[in-house]
Every structure is written in structure tokens, then in C-alpha cells.
Amino acid sequence: DKRGDIWVAEGGKLICLKVKFDDKTGALSYTSNHYDTSDGLQNSDFNQRSFGLLPDGEMLVGGLYGINRFYPDRIVHNRHLPKVMFSDIYIGPHRLRVGEKINGHVPLKVSPNHGATLELWPSDQSFSVSFASDNYVLPEKNTYQYMLEGLDNEWISAPRGVNYVAYTNLAPGNYKLLVRAINGDGYESSAAAELPIIIHPPFLLSPLAKVLYAVLIIAGIYLIYRLIRSHERRRFNEKRKEDAIRKQEEINQLKFKFYTNVSHELRTPLTLIVSPLESMLKETKDEGQRRRLTLMRNNAMRLLTLVNQLLDFRKNEVAGLTLHLAEGEIVGFVRNVCHAFAGMSERKNIRLNFTSDMQELNVMFDEDKLNKAIMNLLANAFKFTPEGGEVTVGISTSQSTITISVADNGIGISDNDKTHIFERFFQTGNVPTDNTMTGSGIGLSMVSEYVKLHDGNIRVTDNPGGGSIFIIELPIIKGKSRPETAPAVSETVSEIESQGNEVETTENERIADKTDMPAEAEGSEIATTSSNPDDNTDKPTVLVVDDSRDMIDFLRDGLGAEFHVITAPDGASALKLLSSIRPAIILTDLMMPGMDGIELCRRIKADPNLATTPIIILTAKHDVDAKVEGMTVGADDYITKPFNIDLLILKMKKLVSLTRSSGRSLINPEPDSIQITPLDEKMVEKAVKYVVTNIKRPELSVEELSSHLGMSRVHLYKKLKATTGKSPVEFIRLIRLKRGAQMLRESQLNVSEIAYQIGYNNPKYFSKYFKEEFGVLPSVYQNKEEKATNYPV
């Protein structure tokens, strides 16, 4: 047109494009105005290339129904700036009214066009807002733009004819809805209409809830702090108590160890008291002197009983007692225990009765511990029974239980004391009738421990005739032989063969602590009964190795009549002496300074020239583990102190006689090297080599070994039994176990790995047979080897 505007026809619409060019920036921009039938145009599409501009500025546009004529410069624009007003608000499908309450809340308190705020709650999931403008000139050509501050970052144009906006599931917070209108000529509102919107959070996200959360968190932190502090305080108190208990226990253990050491060291002096007294009793003819010597010996034995009891108590405190079951005839055993009290019964004029509902019964029990239990009960019965009283020992059986009762008609035990009688160190207020028999408060405690080891129980009741009855109930454990019980018997002390001696105890006590025996200063001098061992060729020579001068003097005097005695103060001196002499037998103490008896025995048995010399270990240690260790390294006997000198001489003579009469000793097979006779050398070497070669195979059998050696199984059995003292099964097992012992000493494998390496499918069997052979478990053996404590095999 004349103003330079461009007119474009599109369908039934006319569009006026006003183009502007910025001379400074070179930017080109334009605005457009749209005209349609509402502006007076025909309701049809315009023809192509049907525009015409007349000289007076009138524009012609041809259509299907004719020509539209208009002057572009005479078109008047609607310059009124429209104003937006909010007409309706919907919450879901419900139209909201001012002041209306919904779900207990008033979302809109005043009109939205008068500064109202729309408040919504979590239950109001969706809402919509309708709006209109005050432009009434062609209102259908009005368009709207909106923006929700807090959600949108730019204006959003609504399609023509759409005058509302809807929102769903807005997050809690503060928003502001802005809406502006644009009229048909492109003039928009001078200012946007505003509607503040508040979306309230749910209670769990509300400020109050957040305050509560903060309070709960602070309270939780404080509670955790208090709990941690309380826990730490409790741990501190417990640790302090544990430290106090541990310190007290250490003090107690030091006391126990002191008493144990003292008691242990009493055995050697008791040996030097009891043994000479027994010799003097045999030699004396004077009856008065015999009575005095008997009194001395009985009190020495009583002292030994107390020492043994203390050692057993210490053993139970440190490592616990161990049960050693063996089959035995229990009726005769209990009867023999009663025999030991015959002298006391006669001296105190107390009748001793023994009753049993059977003549004999073979069961499995620990003779040592049951002997101590019954003797302790009998000693207590005699202690609290007055002269002229009566003590009865009875045995009865049921289907699965044997009952041993010790009854007296003494002063009895109160009901209050009965509940504590088996507690350690507990002593009743009763005064014994025999003031010479005092108690320590551990006897009945040890009795209870011995009975519990047998899976039995002990209780005390009142004797109807006065006094007390101690009842021991033990389960009947049968061995392989199960003889029928004989008719019942009943005896009194007059029917029991009196042995004329006071209470004696068995010598099987064990002690856990390996305390060293004190060595007296006697230098390294080696003493003999003569300057030349060959001066007395009629008597066999005995080498006595002991660090106690008194014990050496006692053994020299006691053995001098039967043996030619040579002495040495320790193991090292004894080895030097053995390089020049060959004694018929060796007596050695277990614990000595420098080289002890175990090491001396090991070295002697490792020397082919000395291996056949019998060795007897004399010691005050009654520990079964020490005995096993001594026998494992090759000792021929193990005698505990105090001992009977006549019994010792008989054992020595027997060992010397056996050694001299045997043309050869039994062969001790070793996996790598074996000392054997030339006659059987090839057979045993071949057997050892075959077992070692096939040691990993669990299926290795006697039949396979006998087939390899070219002999029958019976022939192999006789041959191995004669040369090694082992049956073929024991021979194979011994080779495996000794190879296992070598690997425990020298390899880094654990016990299970070694067990599989030597042909055991189950390590438990390896541990079982290893302990039977060497006296200790493989793990204990390995640990002691790592600590340089030798367990040679």
C-alpha cells in the first residue's frame, strides 16, 4: 500500500505486515494484523494473484463471491489496552465461591480481583482459574498469556478462544498467577492481573512437623549420646570389676601356686622319711620302737594325704580333673578301701561294717578318684564319730545305678550346713571327736568333683540313729566282660582282715603346674660307691641321676646291697659318665637343673649303644601328662615319690634280668631309619619303604602289604610281632603316626592337612590314634614344638 505495508491473502484472511528496519543494527522486524469475516470480509477464500491497488490508494482483493474494496490508510485500530479480570475458580469440578468452606478450610476469603489469595491444601489435588478482559470490540479476537511464578520461567500463550488455565499436583509452596490479554489489533494489557496462590504442605511436611522432627532428632541424638555414655560407663565399670577380679584371681593363683610348690616339694622329703621308716620297721625287733616307728610312718602318710589333696585341688583349679576309666571289680575295691581303716577302727574302738547286696560287680570307674572320695568320707566319719560308735559302708545296685553309702552315728550335720557342705573351704562348726584330725575345707569339695566326673551325684542325709549318711550314686558302665553278680555279703571289721595300718592313699595324684624341684648346691662331682666300677663285678651297676644330695645318699644306702651304685647330679654329667661306662640300669629324677630327666632319657634312647639300657624315672610329679611324656621318649618305668625301696629294687632287678635274658630287643620302626637285626633287615626295610611310599593312600591294607612282601597275612603277623612287637595294622598305623609327628615338627601344614597327607580320610581318627600313641593331641604336640619344647618320638 501507499505506507509500504505488505498485504497477504491466506485462505479467507488478509494479513497486514508492517516491516521495520533498524539502520544502526541492521535488524529487520515486523508486526502483523489479521483480518477475517468478523472485520467485514467475504466468507470465502481469495483468488490467487487477485490483488489490485488503485491510484487513490484503494485496494481491491478478488474472491469467489466478489471483490473486497478498502482503503488501508483509513482502517482504524483498537488502541484500547485490555484489562484482565478473574472470573471463576474451580477446585476439581467444584466452582469455588468467596468464603466457602471446603474440607474445613476457606480457600478464598475475598474476591480474586480485590487482592485475594487462593489457599489450597493437600486434599485439593487440582484447580483451574478462568479469566476475561474488558475489550468488547471483537472480543472473540482477544488472546491471553499467563505465567505461574514459582513454576514457569516465561509467558505461555493460550490458544485463541481459551480463557482459563489448570494445574494439578503442585508442590507445596507460594506461587503467583500472572495473566495478560491481547486485543485483536495486537495491543496487550498494560499490567498483568495477579492471583497469589499458597499450596499448604501436608502435616508431615508442615513447619510444625519439621519442628517436631528437629525436636525428635535432637532428642534421639541426646538419647543415643546418653546410651553410648551409659554403655561406656557400664563397660568401664565392668572392665574395672574384671580387672579387680583378675587381679584378685592372680593373687589367688599366686597363693595356690605357692602352696602347690611347697606341697610338691614336700614329696621328696616325705620319700626320705617314709622309705627309711619302712625299712626300720622291717629291721626292728623291739615292739615299743616298732609302735613309735609305726606312729611316725602313719603321720607321714597322713601328711602325704594332705599334700595329695592340695595338689588335686590345685589341678582342678587350673586345668580341671580328668577321668581315667578302667574296668574293675568295685565291690572288692570298696572292701579294700575299708581295710585301710581297720587299724583306726581298732585304735578308736569304732565298729566298722561293710555290707553289699552282691559279692562282686565289674564296672568301669576311676580307681584313683573313687578311692580318694571314699577314703575322705571314711576319714570324716571316723573324725566325727565318738569312741564306741559305728561306721557302716554299704553298696547296693539298681538297674542302671550303683549306690555307695557311708553312714556314721556321730554328731551329725545341721540342715543349714548340709546346703554348703560340698562348697570349697566350708567347715562346719562341729568339733571333731579326734582333735588330731583337723580339716581344711576342701576334702568334701574334691569328693563332689570326683563324683561329678563319673556323671554321678552325692548327697548327705541324717542317719535315723543319729549322725549322717553320705550317699554316692554312680551310673553303671559295663566293660567288655560282664560277670554275673554273686550273692550279697555283710561283714564287720572283725571279719575284715586287719592290715594293722592307718589310712594310706594311692599314688595317682596329678598336678598341672610344672614347677621345678630345688637343686641343692653339690657341684658337678660324680660320686660312686667305689673308685672303680669294676671292683664289684657280682652286682649290676646302676646310675642314679638326681640333684638332691639326700636322695642320692638314700638311694645309695638302699640299693647298695643289690647294686653297684654310681651317681650324677644332673643329666649333662650323666651323659659324660655314660661315654665311659655302661650301667645295667639308670634311675633318673624328672626335674633337674640344666638337662632334665626327659631330655636325658631322649638322648640315651637315641644313642644306639645305650638304647637298650632300661631307664626308670623317679619323680615327685604325679601328673599323667608327665608320665605319658616320660614313657613316650622311651622310659621303661615311671615311679612317683614317695616309693617303697623294696618295690623299686624288685622292679630294677626285673628290668635288668629281662634286658640280659633277651637276645635282642624289639625293633622300633621309624619311617626313615630303623635299627634292626640283619636277619630281618630286608623284610622290615621293605615293609617300611612300601608303607612310606603308599602312605597317602587311605586304602593301604595288610593284605596288600603281605602280598608285596611275598608272604601270607599270618606269616607277616608273626614276623612283625616278633621283630617289632607290632601287628601289621599297628605297624602301618605307627609308620603313619611317626611320619605325622615328623611333619608336625618340620612342616608348616596344619593338623588336618597332615592327616590327609598320611592317608587319614578323617582328621579326628588321626588325632585319636596320635594321642593314644604319644599321649598328646597333634595340635598340642605342634604348639609345643613351636615353643622349642621337644616331644621326641
Alpha carbon 714 to chain centroid distance?
A: 49
Alpha-carbon distance 445 to 310, whole Å?
A: 11
Residue in 474, 486, 483, 485 with CA at minimum distance from that of residue 401: 474
Write down the CATH number for the domain with range 678-786.
1.10.10.60
Which is the CATH superfamily of the domain at 323-492?
Histidine kinase-like ATPase, C-terminal domain (3.30.565.10)
690-719: average pLDDT: 85
pLDDT of residue 344 exceeding 60 = yes
pLDDT, one tens digit per residue, over 535-581 is 445 789 999 998 888 788 888 888 888 899 999 988 888 988 888 88
C-alpha cell at 636: 621303661
pLDDT band at 219 (very low <50, low <70, confident <90, very high): very high
Residue in 410, 392, 404 with CA at minimum distance from that of residue 351: 392
Residue 253 is predicted with a pLDDT of 73
pLDDT of residue 630 exceeding 80 = no
Judge if 84-201 and 323-492 fold alike in CATH terms: no
Residue in 172, 170, 188 with CA at minimum distance from that of residue 180: 188
Alpha-carbon distance 642 to 307, whole Å?
A: 12
Q: If you average pLDDT over every residue of the chain, what do you get?
A: 78
Residue 671 is predicted with a pLDDT of 60
* 551 neighbors 272 (Cβ within 8 angstroms): yes
Residue in 547, 477, 545 with CA at minimum distance from that of residue 519: 547
The domain 84-201 is placed in CATH, from the list 2.60.40.10, 3.30.420.40, 3.40.50.300, 3.30.10.20, at 2.60.40.10
Residue 406 is predicted with a pLDDT of 92
* 176 neighbors 167 (Cβ within 8 angstroms): no
Residue 393 is predicted with a pLDDT of 92
> How many Cα atoms within 13 Å fall on the side-chain side of residue 526?
20
Residue 259 is predicted with a pLDDT of 67
Domain range annotation of the chain: 6-74, 84-201, 208-264, 323-492, 533-661, 678-786
Residue in 116, 119, 88 with CA at minimum distance from that of residue 102: 119
Can you state the percent helix, strand and coil of the chain, rounding each to 5? 40, 20, 40
Count the neighbouring beta carbons within 10 Å of the beta carbon of residue 60: 13
pLDDT of residue 214 exceeding 90 = yes
pLDDT of residue 469 exceeding 70 = yes
- Residue matched to cell numbers 551329725: 412
pLDDT of residue 519 exceeding 60 = no
Residue 427 is predicted with a pLDDT of 64
pLDDT of residue 252 exceeding 90 = no
* Between 325 and 623, residue with greater pLDDT: 325
Alpha-carbon distance 142 to 128, whole Å?
A: 20
List the single range of 33-42, 47-56, 81-90 with lowest mean pLDDT: 33-42
Residue in 107, 161, 104, 154 with CA at minimum distance from that of residue 130: 161
439-467: average pLDDT: 81
Alpha-carbon distance 208 to 203, whole Å?
A: 8
pLDDT, one tens digit per residue, over 144-153 is 999 998 888 8
Residue 762 is predicted with a pLDDT of 83
279-294: average pLDDT: 81
The residues facing 9 across adjacent strands are: 14
pTM of the model: 0.37
pLDDT of residue 489 exceeding 60 = no
List the strands of the sheet with 28-35, edge to edge. Answer: 6-10, 13-21, 28-35
- Element (H or E) spanning 53, and its range? strand 46-53
Which class is 533-661 in CATH? alpha beta
374-402: average pLDDT: 87
719-725: average pLDDT: 79
